[in-house]
Amino acid sequence: MDKYTILRSKYDKISFFLEKKTLIILPFLILMTLLLLIFGLSVGSTIIHPWSIIEHMLGKGTGDYTFIIETLRLPRMTLAFLVGVSLAVSGLILQGLVQNPLASPDIIGITGGAKVAAVSFITFFSAVSIKWLPIVAIIGAGIATFIIYILAWKKGITPIRLVLIGIGVEAGMGALVTMMIVLSPTYSTSEAYIWLTGSVYGSNWNDVFSMLPWVLIFIPITILLSRRINLQEIGDDLALGLGSNVQLDRLILIFVSVALAGSAVAFAGGIGFVGLIAPHIARILVGRSFGSLAPVSALIGGSIVMLADIVARTVFLPLDLPAGVFVSGMGAPFFIFLLYKNRNI
C-alpha cells in the first residue's frame, strides 16, 4: 500500500489514513492560490509589480499602494476566495447527499430562495439599508430549504425525492424572481440583475469579516462529518447497516450545505456553477474519498471565483463586470463537457 501514508499516535489512540496523491496535490493548490492572489493584487487599472505586492505583504512596502491593495483589491479577492470555498464545499456535500454528480446548490433550490429574498429586498424594500441584504438572503435560502425538506419528507428523505422537489422549487423561485423583476421599477432592475449575476464589486473588509465566521464554523464541521458523507454515498441500507444514523446525518448535512451556499450567495449574489464544477475537478485530481475532496474542492472553488473576478475587472477596463459572468462563462462549457462525458449513463 505505497499509495498511502498512515499517521498513528503511540498506543494507537489516534490514527489517520492519508492518500499520498492528496498530500502532493494540496501544497500545489495552496501555492497556485497564493500566486493567483499576488497576480490579482497586481493587475487592474493601476498595475503594481508583483514584487511590490510581496514586499507590501511582508511589511516592507513603500506604502504607495496601500489604498489600492488593502482597501480595494485585497478584501475583494479575499471575499471571492471565501465565496468560492463555500460554494465548492456546499456543492460537494450535496453531490454526496443526492448521489448525483450533477447536483449543486443552484439546482436544488438553495440559491433560488436566496434570490427571491434578495430581489424582493432590492425591489420592494429599497428604503432599508443595504447592509441587511446578506441576512435577508441567508434567511431566504433557509426558508426555501425548509420548504423543500418538508415537501420531500415521507418518513424520511430519500435522495431522489430531494432532487425532484428541489428542482421544482428552484423553478418556482426562478419564476417568482422573473416576475418581480418585470414588475419592478427601473432603478432597481439593474441592481437586481447585477446581484443575480453575482458580483464581489465594492466588497470591503466588513463584508469579509461578516462572511468569515460562516466559513470558519461550517468548513471544519464538514471535515468532521466526512466519514458520514462517504457512507451516505453508498446507499441508505448500507449506511444504516454500518451503524450511521442516516436521516439525522442527512438533515445535518443539508443544514451545513445551506449555511455555506447561503452565506456565499448572500455576499456575492447569485454566482452559479462553482458548486458544480469545483467538486468535479477535485474528483479528477484526487478520487473519491471525502476527506481528500473537501480541501481540494475548496481551494479549486476559491481559485475559480478569484480568477473570474480578476478577469471580470481587467479584461474590459475601464468596465468592472460582475464576476458571475465569467464564472458562468467558464462553467457552461465545462457543464456541457460533463454532460457529454456522462452521456452513456
Q: Is 161 exposed, middle or buried (0-12, 13-18, 19+ CB in 10 A)?
A: middle
Applying CB under 8 A, what is the total number of residues that bind other proteins? 31
Enter the DSSP assignment of 68.
I
- Nearer CB in complex with other proteins: 179/238: 238
Binding mask 108-127 for other proteins (x = CB under 8 A): --------------------
3-state helix, strand, coil in the chain (%, to 5): 75, 5, 25
Among 219, 211, 222, 335, which Cα is nearest to 273's?
Answer: 335
Query: What is the rounded CA–CA span in Å between residue 87 and residue 91?
Result: 6
Instruction: DSSP for 187-199, please give it.
Output: HHHHHHHHHHH--
Q: Is 146 near other proteins (CB under 8 A)?
A: no
- Nearer CB in complex with other proteins: 52/158: 158
- Nearer CB in complex with other proteins: 204/342: 342
The torsion angle over the Cα atoms of residues 75, 26, 215 and 129, rounded to 10 degrees, is 30
Q: Is 23 near other proteins (CB under 8 A)?
A: no
Residue 193 neighbours by CB under 8 Å, 6+ apart: 181
Binding mask 219-248 for other proteins (x = CB under 8 A): -----x--x--xx-xxx-xx-xxxxxx---
Q: Is 20 near other proteins (CB under 8 A)?
A: no
Q: Is 251 near other proteins (CB under 8 A)?
A: no
Residues numbered 296-315 forming contacts with other proteins, rule: CB under 8 A: none
Residue 343: Cβ within 10 Å count: 7
Q: Is 101 near other proteins (CB under 8 A)?
A: yes
Per CB under 8 A, the segment of 3-11, 126-134, 140-148, 307-315 that binds other proteins is 3-11
Q: Is 287 near other proteins (CB under 8 A)?
A: yes
87 grid coordinates? 460554494
Q: How far is the CB of 237 from other proteins (least distance, A)?
A: 4
Query: What is the rounded CA–CA span in Å between residue 93 and residue 108?
Result: 12
Contacts to other proteins by CB under 8 A: 1, 3, 6, 8, 12-17, 99, 101, 224, 227, 230-231, 233-235, 237-238, 240-245, 283, 287-289
